[in-house]
Amino acid sequence: MLEKRKPIAVAEAVQRVMQFAFQEKVETVSLQQAHGRFLAEDIAADQDVPAFDRSPYDGYAIRSVDSQEACSENPVTFKVVGEIGAGYVFEGLVGDREAVRIMTGAPIPRGCDAVVMLELTQTFEEDDQRYMSIKRSYEAGTNISYKGEDVQKGAILIEKGQYINPGVVALLATFGYDQVPVFRKPIVGVIATGSELLEPSDALQPGKIRNSNAYMIMAQIERAGATVKYFGKFSDELNLCIQAVEKALQEVDILITTGGVSVGDYDYLPAIYEAIEAQVLFNKVAMRPGSVTTVAARNGQLLFGLSGNPSACYVGFELFTRPIIRTAFGNKQPHLRREQAVLGADFKKPNPFTRFVRANASFENGQLVAVPSGFDKSSAVSSLAEANAFIVLPGGSRGYEKGMQVVVLMLEDLQGSEWPWDNIEKSYKS
Ligand SMILES: Nc1nc2c(c(=O)[nH]1)N[C@H]1C(S)=C(S)[C@@H](COP(=O)(O)OP(=O)(O)OC[C@H]3O[C@@H](n4cnc5c(N)ncnc54)[C@H](O)[C@@H]3O)O[C@H]1N2
Ligand code: MOO
Ligand SMILES: [Mg+2]
């Protein structure tokens, strides 16, 4: 007799998976490879930035006191006693009515306390000596970038777990991090199952389809920040699949399979879990698509049995696999970011299960509006391309109307949510 599967709530299923959070591991990468990784240590400033008072403009460094009498009727003239570009230091002491030609970024010469922009000066030469005159006075401190005005020594700049974006890369470089401590990426294996599968390079044949899931999932793994290991596609032959899964498990932290998790004659994943003595955490979730999503564990290693149906496969990854990957990065918000949005179109299909409608969410006049991104069956592949969010529609409703408030989960976001699963209410009109 066919075993009847008992659906569990999405939040319960996510919780079961999250029991297997990764132990964080640290490795070091070069600064050039750090972009897109997650920082494994707090970074504190070991110096002031800037490290010296410097000029924000090209112009002349002066002693402000010498400019006090200057006005348009009475220009004050300075003797130009030197010139410095960024990277050089003026060694002398600047005296009475003396100025130093200075470029942006150069240190303020000793004795000077103001910089006059080049455009506000007039220059001339007399007996091989250069002079500069100004027609207004300057207060002490005018046009000086002070030591430590950007960052003060000792400040915590970036916290452990922070995503390394280009700005973080700039800070790491500023503070001399040629090598950067980052969290190790988990290795996520991918196996596609199905005798119907062709590779993308193959010509179509009767009854066959191209394997899109493996490539989609590999891209999702990379988007989540992990490393992919692809083992290929396998036809629906039990022993072949058992061997492939056993072998893959030796080489990865997490293994994802697609297809074969339902109740068809060639849906072998349940038999594979049994054969390799993996414990099934759940094999039915009260959600659409992806109700057949199955997760099993063996010796602390997770096996994600994602559906063969492309939309179901995609959703299963984002809800269950993504957050566990994120735990490897010291991430306190490993789940998809939850936001509130306005439903941008009617969604009339009733369903007893919570729906995750692939959608495009964008701001319209400051309001996030989410519109289903196309054909909504579990088998759909076309609606995935435009999707940057899931609209979460709780089950048990007769359908939803344009204008209702809905919860959305954002797919392209880096910030994430701590736990987005509480209080997902039935929608209401705003
Ligand atoms: N009698 C029942 N039938 C089905 C049930 C059920 O509860 N009772 N569940 C349905 C639901 S819901 C889903 S979702 C699918 C899940 O199917 P499987 O996970 O077992 O996947 P397959 O049977 O292998 O394939 C399903 C579908 O997806 C296509 N596929 C498979 N692999 C790929 C791939 N790599 N790239 C693109 N497309 C793929 C495959 O050709 C099938 O069309 O089961 C329902 N049936
Ligand atoms: O798992 Mo199925 O996708 O609910 O349609
Ligand atoms: Mg099947």
Ligand 2 within 6 A of 354 CB? no
Among 309, 315, 354, the mutation site with the greatest number of ligand 2 atoms within 8 A of its Cβ is: 309
CA of 375 to the centre of ligand 2 (A): 14
Ligand 2 within 6 A of 309 CB? yes
Looking from the CA of 131 toward its CB, the CA atoms found within 13 Å total 12
Residue nearest to atom 43 of ligand 1 (CA): 309
Ligand 1 within 6 A of 378 CB? yes
CA of 6 to the centre of ligand 2 (A): 14
- Distances in Å between the Cα of 419 and the Cα atoms of 35, 310, 387, 422, 424 are 26, 26, 22, 7, 11
Instruction: Return the ligand number nearest the Cα of 316.
Output: 2
**Which pTM does this prediction carry?**
0.92
How many residues make up the chain in this entry? 430
Residue 430 has pLDDT above 50, yes or no: no
Read off the pLDDT band of 428 (50, 70, 90).
low
Rounded CA gap, 289 and 156, in Å? 44
Ligand 1 within 6 A of 420 CB? no
CA of 400 to the centre of ligand 1 (A): 27
Which of 235-244, 276-285, 370-379 bottoms out in mean pLDDT, i.e. has the lowest?
370-379
For residue 312, give the ligand 1 atom closest to its CA.
Answer: 14
3-class DSSP state for residue 379? coil
List the one residue out of 244, 191, 187 whose CA is nearest residue 213: 191
Q: How high is the pLDDT of residue 397?
A: 79
Among 190, 220, 262, the mutation site with the greatest number of ligand 1 atoms within 8 A of its Cβ is: 262
Rounded CA gap, 126 and 130, in Å? 7
pLDDT mean over 130-138: 98
List phi, psi (to 5°) of 383: -75, -5
HEC per residue, 195-227: CCEECCCCCCCCCCEECCHHHHHHHHHHHHCCE
Which H/E stretch holds residue 361?
strand 354-364
Rounded CA gap, 275 and 159, in Å? 44
- 68-116 pLDDT, tens digit per residue, is 999 999 999 999 999 999 999 999 999 999 999 999 999 999 999 999 9
Number of helical (H) and strand (E) elements in the chain, helices listed first? 7, 24
- 33-53 pLDDT, tens digit per residue, is 999 999 999 999 999 999 999
- 206-264 pLDDT, tens digit per residue, is 999 999 999 999 999 999 999 999 999 999 999 999 999 999 999 999 999 999 999 99
For 151, other C-beta atoms within 10 Å of its C-beta total 17
Residue 429 has pLDDT above 60, yes or no: no
For residue 292, give the ligand 2 atom closest to its CA.
Answer: 1
Residue 31 has pLDDT above 60, yes or no: yes
HEC per residue, 263-284: CCCCCCHHHHHHHCCCEEEECC
List the one residue out of 115, 91, 121, 120 whose CA is nearest residue 103: 115
What are the DSSP calls for 75-143, one per residue? -EEEEEEEEE-TT----SB--TTEEEEE-TTPBPPBT--EEEEGGG-EEEEETTEEEEEESS---TTTT
Read off the pLDDT band of 398 (50, 70, 90).
confident
Name the token pair of 43.
Answer: 């970074």
For β-strands 129-134 and 187-193, DSSP reports them as unpaired
Q: Which residues pair with 260 in a beta bridge?
A: none
Which of 69-73, 103-107, 154-158, 426-430 bottoms out in mean pLDDT, i.e. has the lowest?
426-430
3-class DSSP state for residue 39? strand
3-class DSSP state for residue 62? strand
Q: Are 180 and 29 in contact (CB under 8 A)?
A: yes
pLDDT mean over 320-333: 96
Residue 3 has pLDDT above 80, yes or no: no
